[in-house]
Chains A and B, each alone.
Chain A
Amino acid sequence: EIVMTQSPATLSVSPGERATLSCRASQSVSSNLAWYQQKPGQAPRLLIYGASTRATGIPARFSGSGSGTEFTLTISSLQSEDFAVYYCQQYNNWPPPTFGGGTKVEIK
């Protein structure tokens, strides 16, 4: 089973600033890496897949990069609606597909 590790656990950012979230895989997942956003009381929403492709309707301020074992989600200018928990997930080697523990982006 591939273990996904996200850092930091919590990121405090001011509105309008850039946020950079990291995700590391215990072995290569190629570019088969997705990012999800989850707000309190809501289901996760797919943001990025293929490490860097935005899902339908996702604003351009969200971008993903990386391949192999190191990945990054960048939110270029945080909006109020972006404060949430973000999860990475690998779908290269499954079952099982595995998720990281999440990064909470909170208002500074």
Chain B
Amino acid sequence: EVQLVESGGGLVKPGGSLRLSCAASGFTFSSYSMNWVRQAPGKGLEWVSSISSSSSYIYYADSVKGRFTISRDNAKNSLYLQMNSLRAEDTAVYYCARDIVEPTALFDYWGQGTLVTVSS
């Protein structure tokens, strides 16, 4: 069974940093592109970042470019999102999501999400 479990969310002050993790199991993690998608409270879905299976390509939404860094460790079956210079508008539930096949930006499995709150 495919499982994606996010962690690392919490309350952080504006300008602060946070590192999210996503632990994957039930599939060959190193064969799939992975993504972060976020959802502000009561709002819709917003794609944040994608990373290919071998980390050879990485993409970011304009809203996070230069502040967020996606990475992965295939040996640990883990995906990460380093978030710096956080703003109030980054407040959201952050989901990790798997590409159905590389590279498509079509998300077939999602984690349950981790809440990031940016507030003073």
Contacts and interface: CB of A to CB of B under 8 A. Distances in A.
B26 interface: no
B73 interface: no
B111 interface: yes
A34 B111 contact: no
B27 interface: no
B59 A99 contact: no
A44 B110 contact: yes
A96 B106 contact: no
Contact of A42 (B47, B61, B107, B112): B112
B104 to A, nearest CB: 6
B42 to A, nearest CB: 11
Given A95-B61, A95-B105, A96-B61, A43 B113 contact: yes
A101 interface: yes
A100 interface: yes
Q: How large is the interface on B (under 10, 10 to 19, 20 to 34, 35 or more residues)?
A: 20 to 34
B88 interface: no
B92 to A, nearest CB: 13
Interface string B78-120: 0000000000000000010000100011111111110000000
Interface in A57-91: 87, 89, 91
Contact of A55 (B47, B104, B108, B113): B108
Contacts of B44: 87, 99-102
A97 interface: yes
Contacts of B110: 43-45
Contacts of A91: 104-106
30 contacts: A34-B106, A36-B107, A42-B112, A43-B112, A43-B113, A44-B45, A44-B95, A44-B107, A44-B110, A46-B106, A46-B107, A46-B108, A49-B100, A89-B107, A94-B59, A94-B105, A95-B50, A95-B60, A95-B105, A96-B47, A96-B61, A97-B47, A97-B106, A99-B44, A99-B45, A99-B46, A100-B44, A101-B44, A102-B44, A102-B45
Interface of B: 44-47, 50, 59-62, 95, 100, 104-113
